[in-house]
Amino acid sequence: MHVLLCEDDDLIASGIVAGLNAQGLTVDHVATAAAARAMVRVAHFDVMVLDLGLPDEDGLKLLRDLRQNGLQLPVLILTARDSVTDRVAGLQSGADDYLLKPFDLRELSARLHTLIRRVAGRSVNLIVHGSLSYDPSSRETLLAGRVVDLSRREQSLLHALLHSRARVLSSDQLKDSVYGVGDEVESNALNVHIFNLRRKLGATIVETVRGVGYRLGPADAANTSPGSPP
Ligand code: CA
C-alpha cells in the first residue's frame, strides 16, 4: 500500500515515514501543497496523510481542490487545531478521518489500515482468499494455516493484488504500490517479485493478463499448486 504524506515538519515526517515503513507501507513524503499536487499526478496512492498547516497553502484548500479534481483516495488529516469547527471543516472538505497532534504512531497506522479497508468494502482487517489469508496490520501471510515467509516487497505486492480483487492492475500500478516515487527500481524487479509470489503461494495466485497487466488468480486455485519449496 502506497501512502502520500504531506507534512512540512521534518521531525514529525521522518517519524511517520519510519513508523509506516516498519508496518510494510510504502511512503512518499512531500513538504508542500505544490509538491503534493505534483505527486498525485505522477503516481497512484492508496491513502493520503495531510498536515493542515503547510508553508505554501492551507491543507484544507489543497484537499478541497483535489476532491474537486476527482481525487478519490482516502485522506486522513493531521492537525493541531482541535476545535470542533476545525474538525467539521476538515470533514466537509473531503477528509475521511483526522488525528490530533501529538499522536501515537500506532494509532495513525491503525487508522490508515481502517481507511484502506473501508475503501475495499471490508469490515475486518484480515483478507481471506481461498485458503490464503493476509493480515495487513501484522503482515502475516497464512496458506492453508501455515505461515509463509514473504519479503516486504512481496507483502506489498500481495496486498495490492488482494485489495484490488478481480480488477486488472498494470505493471505501473503494481510498481506504485511496492515502490516509492524516488526508489531505484530495476526493470525486471516486478517480475522477480511475481515469480517469488507464485513460487511461495502457488502458480495461480497471480494471473498475467497479456498486454494489460496482472490480477489476483481465482480463490479456489490459490493453494492447488504451490511451487517446489526453496
Ligand atoms: Ca505544519
Q: In the chain, what are the domains?
A: 2-119 (3.40.50.2300), 127-223 (1.10.10.10)
Predicted local confidence at residue 222, as pLDDT: 45
54 Cα–ligand 1 center, Å: 5
Note down pLDDT in tens along the chain; length 230 residues: 899 999 999 999 999 999 998 888 899 999 999 999 999 998 889 999 999 999 999 999 999 999 988 888 899 999 887 777 877 888 888 899 999 888 999 899 999 988 988 877 776 778 889 999 998 878 889 998 899 999 989 999 999 999 888 899 999 889 988 888 878 888 889 999 999 999 999 999 999 999 999 999 988 654 444 544 44
Identify the pLDDT of residue 84: 76
Distance 85 CA to ligand 1 centre (A): 19
For ligand 1, the distance from its centroid to the CA atom of residue 66, given in whole angstroms, is 19
* CA 104 to ligand 1 center in whole angstroms: 17
| Contact indicator for 75, 93 with CB cutoff of 8 Å | no
With both helix axes pointing from N to C terminus, report the angle between 59-68 and 33-42 in degrees, rounded to the nearest 10.
Answer: 30
Whether the bond into 102 is cis, omega within 30 of 0 = yes
Cα 7 to averaged position of ligand 1 atoms, centre (Å): 6
